[in-house]
Structure 1
Amino acid sequence: MHPLVNVGVQAARAAGHIILRHAHQTDRLTVTSKGKSDFVSEVDRTAEAEITRIIRRYYPDHAILGEEGGASGDSDTVWIIDPLDGTTNFLHGIPHYAVSIGVTYRGKLAHAVIYEPNTNDLYTATAGGGAQCNSRRIRVSRTDSLDRALIGTGAPFRDEERIQRYLPQLGGVLNETAGIRRAGSAALDLAWVANGRLDGFWENDLKPWDIAAGVLLVREAGGTVTELYGRNDVMDTGNVLACNLPIHTALERAIHSASRPD
């Protein structure tokens, strides 16, 4: 493993230990709301602080962008951290959430770590070096027909305008595929695309910490990740379409079959 990936793995496992330690006592946690249906717990903050502490021990000059702590530092190398992707699942006792750590160098995705504490599955990738799960090489699925494809998605919940933009997309994909899953963790959805469990995934308006590691994993596993509306870079807009190459055009067409953005 690349040295930065080794540090990312150490940090992700440490955060995962904190998360699991509190998983059966969520009723005792302090939980606040960042917005409609957007929660943060003391576990999110504690886990991010531990990730940051470990990174700083080895790379004190690197910059960090965390979901809870915001941006700090000025460096060509930036660590992008989601300490607990799937907080709502965690708070409801649903064992589907992950620690996500991406690293960019001069604005390009360079390294990725996604750790699923409940299964102990560890996903890693380095640009140009392929993607792994538990140290074994992974590849996207070989499904070549959309009507046999299982697709992941994330539903918006913060405002009516985004919901109305999303619902026609959902209908279009439902009509064309074998099924849709809305599991509640974009990081894990992308990791599952990389690992071939899902054939594709799309979601609108995600944040860099939601997708940095997952986007690199999919690409290094032989998949494609594009901006949903063909605009700027997906890391800038957060509108993600990830899948294997054979179904990309058909999935994109299904998503946009009922409506297009203004």
Structure 2
Amino acid sequence: MNYELLCTKVIAIARLTGNFIRKESMNFDVKNIEFKGLNDLVSYVDKKAEEQLVYNLSKLIPGAGFITEEETVNSKGESFDWIIDPLDGTTNFIHGIPTYSISIALYENNVPVLGVVYEINRAEMFYSYKGGAAYLNNKEIRVSGRDRLSDCLLATGFPYYEFEKQEAYMRLFSEMMRRCHGLRRIGSAAVDLAYVACGRFDAFFEYNLNAYDVAGGAYIVQQAGGNILNFSGGEEFIQKREILATNALVNEEILQTMKKYFK
């Protein structure tokens, strides 16, 4: 498998679907909102974008499986599986906030081999593939070199359903805000991870995320020299639905703080 060539084709597919999403954003009507659950929004744009991605990606590796957010298709492949979020940041999209992305990952025998995150409105394509480095628009990227939490800018996401951990999370926020340069909440986990990969953020943490939210961005972080962990410091971030992405230099300082609030 030529992963570099494959990644080039995936980038073209992501850009094509991104053009569709950008065009639809210009005339989007909030009447088209649907609710999958409490505060869990979706629109025809998510669904059409996913259909486009699935159709085009399926041509690249015949027989590959798909794990998708909108479940237009879900199937297990024999060796390869695409993990797709067609519009990560749907709430931003619906409210006209211009930060949302497409996230694509490819797993081979349950191991990531390719990741693409396309931040649509800034036309920033983050990507990596097996055997390559991590890139932003053809320029190699690395995680930051800051090694003290007090010098770091962190990203997170706020709970919008399953609020049982909210109180502990708020206490964690309170301490983190006093110990770093600041906390940011952009509204797209895929973008947060991409920003860790290129050094804009030094770390990102959130819980209750799904594989399609984080698979692409997490691989890019790892390829850029960062670490992906769960809140206990283990590697099972998808299974635990907890993710801590760091520049690999502030892991222990952040984990020690997190363990005060998440046992």
Taking structure 1 as the reference length, the TM-score comes to: 0.94
The one of 116, 127, 144 equivalent to 1:124 is: 127
Secondary structure at the counterpart of residue 57 of structure 1: coil
Asked if the contact 1:127/1:216 (under 8 Å) is kept, the reply is no
What's the counterpart of residue 186 of structure 1? Answer: 189
Structure 2: 5+ residue stretches without partners: none
Structure 1: 5+ residue stretches without partners: none
Q: Percent of aligned pairs with the same residue?
A: 33
Q: CA deviation at 1:235?
A: 2.1
Take 2:133 and 2:235, find their aligned partners in 1: how far apart are those partners?
25
Q: CA deviation at 1:21?
A: 0.8
The one of 88, 109, 112 equivalent to 2:91 is: 88
Asked if the contact 2:142/2:197 (under 8 Å) is kept, the reply is yes
Opposite residue 76 of structure 1, the aligned amino acid is S
Q: CA deviation at 1:140?
A: 0.4
Q: CA deviation at 1:28?
A: 5.7
What's the counterpart of residue 8 of structure 2? Answer: 6
Q: CA deviation at 1:223?
A: 0.8
Opposite residue 225 of structure 1, the aligned amino acid is I
Asked if the contact 2:232/2:255 (under 8 Å) is kept, the reply is no
Asked if the contact 1:157/1:163 (under 8 Å) is kept, the reply is no
Deviation by residue 1:59-105 (Cα, 9 ceiling, x = unmatched): 23111111012522432100000000000001111110000000100
Q: Report 1:142-153 matches (<5 A).
A: 142-153=145-156
Opposite residue 21 of structure 1, the aligned amino acid is K
Take 1:28 and 1:231, find their aligned partners in 2: how far apart are those partners?
41
Of 199-208 and 248-257, more deviation after overlay is shown by: 248-257
Of 207-216 and 3-12, more deviation after overlay is shown by: 3-12
What's the counterpart of residue 243 of structure 1? Answer: 246
Take 1:119 and 1:126, find their aligned partners in 2: how far apart are those partners?
22
Asked if the contact 1:29/1:41 (under 8 Å) is kept, the reply is no
Deviation by residue 1:164-222 (Cα, 9 ceiling, x = unmatched): 23212212211211100011000000000000000110001210000001111111111
The one of 2, 25, 28 equivalent to 1:26 is: 28
What's the counterpart of residue 227 of structure 1? Answer: 230
Secondary structure at the counterpart of residue 106 of structure 2: strand
Opposite residue 51 of structure 1, the aligned amino acid is L
What's the counterpart of residue 157 of structure 1? Answer: 160
Opposite residue 235 of structure 1, the aligned amino acid is I
Secondary structure at the counterpart of residue 115 of structure 1: strand
The one of 172, 197, 202 equivalent to 1:199 is: 202
Take 1:260 and 1:28, find their aligned partners in 2: how far apart are those partners?
37
Q: CA deviation at 1:134?
A: 0.4
What's the counterpart of residue 61 of structure 1? Answer: 63
Take 2:23 and 2:188, find their aligned partners in 1: how far apart are those partners?
20
> Is it true that 1:114 corresponds to 2:126 in the alignment?
no
Take 1:41 and 1:75, find their aligned partners in 2: how far apart are those partners?
31
Q: CA deviation at 1:131?
A: 0.4
Of 76-85 and 224-233, more deviation after overlay is shown by: 224-233
Take 1:103 and 1:71, find their aligned partners in 2: how far apart are those partners?
14
In angstroms, what is the RMSD of aligned CA positions? Answer: 1.5
Q: CA deviation at 1:232?
A: 5.8
Of 114-123 and 186-195, more deviation after overlay is shown by: 114-123
Take 1:28 and 1:160, find their aligned partners in 2: how far apart are those partners?
26
Take 1:177 and 1:128, find their aligned partners in 2: how far apart are those partners?
34
Of 50-59 and 189-198, more deviation after overlay is shown by: 50-59
Taking structure 2 as the reference length, the TM-score comes to: 0.94
Of 8-17 and 89-98, more deviation after overlay is shown by: 8-17
Q: CA deviation at 1:159?
A: 2.5
What's the counterpart of residue 75 of structure 2? Answer: 72
Secondary structure at the counterpart of residue 58 of structure 2: helix
